[in-house]
Amino acid sequence: MNRKQRILIIEDETAIRTGLMDVFVYHGYEVDSAADGPEGLHKALSGTFDLIVLDVMLPGMDGFAICDRIRAQDRDQPIIMLTARGSDEDIIRGLTLGADDYVAKPFSVAQLVLRVQAVLRRTGYANDAGDILHLGDTVEIDTRNLCGRRQGETISFTRREMALLAYLNAHGGRAVSREELLHKVWGYARHAQIETRTVDIHIAKLRRKIEVDPGEPVYLVTVRGAGYRLLSE
């Protein structure tokens, strides 16, 4: 008999927490929960979960601090963050700390379920990539250790950023659409009606890391009407 996948929900609003627990139990998952930051962090670090659904605004310790602590111990733990604000600042902060995806409140439960399913079946292009990726003469990226150098400056990457770079590098001869990236890198089903700007936000983050001038990219370029292309050596 196959083991049920385990989800931890860290959410202080009782109605949302119990509602999400019921939804994920209905979809066949084993679910645990926590109602505040310290309890959530303790369960996240002491238990074994296939996915953590993590609210940002929590009593005792916010979701950003929890995500950072989890990543310090386990950089591969899948995390989806819930934020009451859909601002780029909050989203970028969560993704920079290593969250796999975000959902802004108020959210559609169906959308959240789709995102959970996508993260749980995500692909691992970063692990299959070669050890070193060169972008021109200025950028060297160690794909296995999630780090690199740009003009002598050390840079680090999240697991999702590296998976995105690796997929674009593997398809460097053509532009890759947002829809294909959501399917292949984020694991969303083809043609799923996903409302997310996560691809664009990750592209912007990567440009700030690998480009000398992110406003005029020379490596990670936009192909108008088609998607993105990575120009390596």
More confident site: 184 or 121: 184
**Whether 115 and 133 share a structural domain:** no
Q: Please state the rounded mean pLDDT for residues 29-52.
A: 96
User: Is residue 213 a part of any domain in this protein?
Assistant: yes
pLDDT at 62 over 70: yes
Domain stops at, among 85, 103, 120 = 120
The β-bridge relationship of strands 132-135 and 139-142 is antiparallel
- If we measure between CA atoms, which residue out of 87, 214, 42 comes closest to residue 139? 214
- Residue 175 near residue 228 (C-beta atoms within 8 A): yes
- Is there a single domain that holds both residue 187 and residue 211? yes
Please give the pLDDT value at position 125.
52
Does a structural domain hold residue 20?
yes
Looking up tokens 């296939």, which residue turns up? 50
Q: Which domain holds residue 15?
A: 6-120
Residue 137 has pLDDT above 90, yes or no: no
Residues 114 and 149 in one domain: no
What pLDDT is attached to residue 85?
66
Instruction: Please report the pLDDT score of residue 108 as a whole number.
Output: 87
Spacing of C-alpha 112 from chain mean position: 14
Based on the fold, state whether residues 201 and 186 are members of the same structural domain. yes
Same domain, residue pair 59 and 13: yes
Q: How high is the pLDDT of residue 2? A: 65
Please check the confidence at residue 31 and state whether its pLDDT lies above 90.
yes
CA separation for the pair 206, 70 (Å, rounded): 22
Number of domains the chain contains = 2
Q: What percent of the chain has pLDDT over 90?
A: 51
Residue 1 counted as domain residue: no
H-helix or E-strand containing 156? strand 153-156
98: CATH: 3.40.50.2300
Contact predicate 125/106, CB 8 Å = no
pTM of the model: 0.70
CATH code (residue 155)? 1.10.10.10
Q: What is the pLDDT of residues 66-120, one digit of tens each?
A: 999 998 888 778 999 998 766 677 778 888 888 888 888 888 898 899 889 888 8
3-state secondary structure 3-62: CCCEEEEECCCHHHHHHHHHHHHHCCCEEEEECCHHHHHHHHHHCCCCEEEEECCCCCCC
pLDDT of amino acid 192: 66
Instruction: Determine the straight-line distance between the first and last CA of the chain, rounded to whole angstroms.
Output: 48
Same structural domain, 142 and 106: no
Same domain, 41 and 136: no
